[in-house]
């Protein structure tokens, strides 16, 4: 049972444009969300997180939006750069729930075209 879903396996964007990666979840108890970026042959690298008490969090070129009523979050990258080409995973957890367990989506492969 996939509680976190990334329905777009891949996305291509021109350099300088906005990249929007989407993530949906089914468990209404989730209250902490993260995005990770993964290059081949490396472990995932933490990008940005958001708590359910907020609907937006921004860090440089990266902004995460959370729509709790729709159980949807998105990651915006502006402007996109070729170095952003990687697989992006969203993850969710219940802060005071199952200890240390994060639920991950299957990833979206982003290609930024120079």
Partner 1 sequence: KAGVTQTPRYLIKTRGQQVTLSCSPISGHRSVSWYQQTPGQGLQFLFEYFSETQRNKGNFPGRFSGRQFSNSRSEMNVSTLELGDSALYLCASSYAGSSGNTIYFGEGSWLTVV
What is the contact surface with partner 1 in residues (CB under 8 A)?
2, 4, 31-32, 34, 36, 41-46, 49, 51, 89, 91, 93-107
Q: What is the dihedral of CA 82, 4, 104, 84, to 10 degrees?
A: 10
The smaller minimum CB distance to partner 1, of residues 57 and 79, is found at 57
CB of 12 to partner 1, least distance (A): 19
CB of 49 to partner 1, least distance (A): 6
Buried b (16+ CB within 10 A) or exposed e, 11-37: bebeeeeebbbbbbbeeeebbbbbbbb
The smaller minimum CB distance to partner 1, of residues 53 and 70, is found at 53
CB of 78 to partner 1, least distance (A): 23
Cβ atoms 76, 66 nearer than 8 A:
no
The smaller minimum CB distance to partner 1, of residues 15 and 31, is found at 31
Token look-up 């995973």 returns 89
The smaller minimum CB distance to partner 1, of residues 13 and 23, is found at 23
C-alpha–C-alpha distance, residues 26 and 18, integer Å: 27
CB of 75 to partner 1, least distance (A): 15
């Amino acid at each position: 049972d996939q509680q976190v879903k990334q329905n777009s396996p891949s996305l291509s964007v021109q350099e300088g444009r906005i990249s929007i990666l989407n993530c949906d979840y089914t468990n209404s108890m989730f209250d902490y969300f993260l995005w990770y970026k993964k290059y081949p042959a490396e472990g995932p690298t933490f990008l940005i997180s958001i708590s359910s008490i907020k609907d937006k969090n921004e860090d440089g070129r990266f902004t995460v939006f959370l729509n709790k009523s729709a159980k949807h979050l998105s990651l915006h990258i502006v402007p996109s750069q070729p170095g952003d080409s990687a697989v992006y995973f969203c993850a969710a957890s219940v802060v005071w729930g199952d200890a240390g367990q994060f639920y991950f989506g299957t990833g979206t492969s982003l290609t930024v075209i120079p």
